[in-house]
């Protein structure tokens, strides 16, 4: 079985990767097909993610987390993606978006209130997108009205990952639409807040066990101590958090591509045609070589961006390039895996069709490929 090159990882990183791989193989893999078919995340798996410390990887130990690095979070996201993209993105959003936002912009009280729960029992969600606010992330229709000791939110959100499982939501709304993006503010909304409802769950092509939900706000009251960061500075939180999150999506794509590649490699070595294994045909060998090269290039780009982030260096362009390249590579690698399986690859009996379905979202969420191209070009020309 093909393994990702581990010579560049230190002993702790290798041990961490292998512990997650063992968990994913033994606990997640047997449930993948049913979770995908039923569009339902197994609650027991979520509890196990918490028990393993995978939902608070960067959270400091004083708040009950692992106190580790962003790179370690990406290792977890990749290894989970190798088995199931839905479990991977649940862990990804928790670590690279929600927890990261609390760590960077939360008050001491907010950190003490939420970080221990996010590390031990509460799933979090990040609510930015709306029907008119996709790539134009700041065209928000959700409004927040100042009522003295609280804000009242009215409007809705769409396509919110972890919507069904989350207990706390980081929600972006505009306190003063006349100021445009300078009115955008981050709010912490708990699931049981009056006036807040989790709406329908989307029926999706891929990552089907991951809940993607509509959020409804009807005179939803949010105390002022649940403003995240400064009023009117929510755009800064959104931009900077998504820059980090894109590396996590890149790691997810690497994991999905790795899983598809391993499945294809195993299949062509055992499947026979014309009296010999598929792997003995040069045409097949060349396709495998292309897949492996694209996979390793993606991995190097993702972890280069992650280590830049961990070292405090500028990583925005590298994050955009990593997401752009890895998401394209994942779609190509998973599609080739189906080709190598032939007719079997087009059936749900084998895993590669699901890897392909799960890979497609990588070019869409947390910034489309066109938005990544725009970011890269802008930074090159500045």
Percent of the chain scoring above 70 in pLDDT: 98
- pLDDT of residue 4 exceeding 60, the answer is no
Answer yes or no: is pLDDT of 374 > 70: yes
The pTM assigned to this predicted structure is 0.96
Report pLDDT for 8.
66
Output the pLDDT for position 5: 47
pLDDT tens profile 221-261 = 999 999 999 999 999 999 999 999 999 999 999 999 999 99
Instruction: Judge whether residue 198 has pLDDT over 70.
Output: yes
The whole-number pLDDT of residue 349 equals: 96
Tokens of 332: 């190509």
pLDDT above 90 coverage of the chain, percent:
94
* Burial (CB count within 10 angstroms: exposed 0-12, middle 13-18, buried 19+), residue 92: buried
Q: How far apart are the first and last CA of the chain?
A: 45
Per-residue model confidence as pLDDT tens digits over 326-351 = 999 999 999 999 999 999 999 999 99
Domains and CATH numbers, the chain: 11-123 (1.10.540.10), 125-232 (2.40.110.10), 236-381 (1.20.140.10)
Q: What is the mean pLDDT of the segment spanning 135-157?
A: 93
How far is 56 from 98, CA to CA, in rounded Å? 10
> What are 102-133's pLDDT values in tens digits?
999 999 999 999 999 999 999 999 999 999 88
Residue 139's pLDDT is what? 87
Handedness of CA 321, 323, 324, 329 (dihedral sign): positive
Higher pLDDT, 239 or 5: 239
pLDDT value for 6: 42
- pLDDT for 136: 83
**pLDDT given for residue 1 in this prediction:** 46
DSSP state of 311: T
Give per-residue pLDDT as tens, 304-327: 999 999 999 999 999 999 999 999
- Structural tokens at position 325: 């390249």
- pLDDT for 42-91, tens place per residue? 999 999 999 999 999 999 999 999 999 999 999 999 999 999 999 999 99
Instruction: Give the model confidence (pLDDT) of 353-363 as tens digits.
Output: 999 999 999 99
Q: What is the pLDDT of residue 14?
A: 92
- Name the catalytic one among 262, 272, 366, 380: 366
Tell me which residue has tokens 């989970």: 80
> What is the pLDDT of the chain when averaged over all its residues?
96
Quick count: other Cβ atoms within 10 Å of Cβ 312? 7
Does the annotation count 366 as an active-site position? yes
Per-residue CA distances from 353 to 13, 24, 37, 115, 343 (Å): 30, 19, 13, 37, 11
């Amino acid at each position: 079985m093909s393994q990702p090159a581990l010579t560049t990882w230190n002993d702790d990183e290798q041990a961490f990767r292998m512990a997650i791989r063992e968990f994913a193989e033994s606990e997640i893999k047997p449930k993948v097909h049913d979770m995908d078919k039923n569009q339902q995340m197994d609650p027991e798996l979520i509890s196990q993610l918490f028990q393993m410390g995978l939902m608070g990887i960067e959270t400091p130990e004083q708040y009950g987390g692992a106190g580790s690095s962003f790179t370690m979070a990406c290792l977890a996201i990749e290894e989970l993606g190798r088995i199931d993209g839905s479990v991977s993105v649940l862990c990804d959003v928790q670590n690279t978006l929600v927890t990261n936002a609390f760590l960077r912009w939360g008050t001491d009280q907010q950190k003490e209130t939420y970080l221990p729960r996010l590390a031990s029992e509460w799933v979090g969600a990040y609510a930015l997108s709306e029907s008119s606010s996709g790539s134009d992330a700041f065209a928000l229709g959700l409004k927040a009205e100042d009522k003295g000791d609280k804000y009242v939110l009215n409007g809705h959100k769409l396509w919110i990952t972890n919507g069904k499982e989350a207990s706390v939501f980081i929600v972006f709304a505009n306190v003063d639409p006349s100021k445009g993006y300078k009115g955008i503010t981050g709010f912490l909304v708990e699931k049981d807040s009056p006036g807040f409802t989790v709406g329908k769950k989307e029926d999706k092509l891929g990552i089907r066990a991951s809940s993607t939900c509509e959020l409804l706000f009807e005179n939803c009251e949010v105390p002022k101590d649940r403003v995240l960061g400064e009023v009117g500075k929510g755009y800064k939180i959104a931009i900077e958090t998504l820059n980090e999150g894109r590396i996590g999506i890149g790691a997810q794509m690497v994991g999905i591509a790795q899983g598809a590649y391993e499945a294809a490699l195993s299949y062509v070595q055992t499947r026979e045609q014309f009296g010999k294994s598929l792997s003995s045909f040069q045409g097949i060998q060349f396709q495998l070589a292309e897949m492996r090269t694209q996979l390793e290039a993606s991995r190097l780009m993702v972890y280069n961006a992650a280590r830049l982030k961990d070292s405090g260096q500028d990583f925005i362009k590298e994050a955009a390039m990593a997401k752009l390249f890895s998401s394209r590579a994942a779609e190509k690698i998973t599609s080739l895996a189906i080709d190598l399986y032939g007719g079997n690859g087009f059936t749900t009996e084998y895993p590669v069709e699901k890897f392909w379905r799960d890979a497609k979202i990588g070019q869409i969420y947390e910034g489309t490929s066109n938005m990544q191209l725009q970011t890269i070009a802008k930074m090159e020309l500045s």
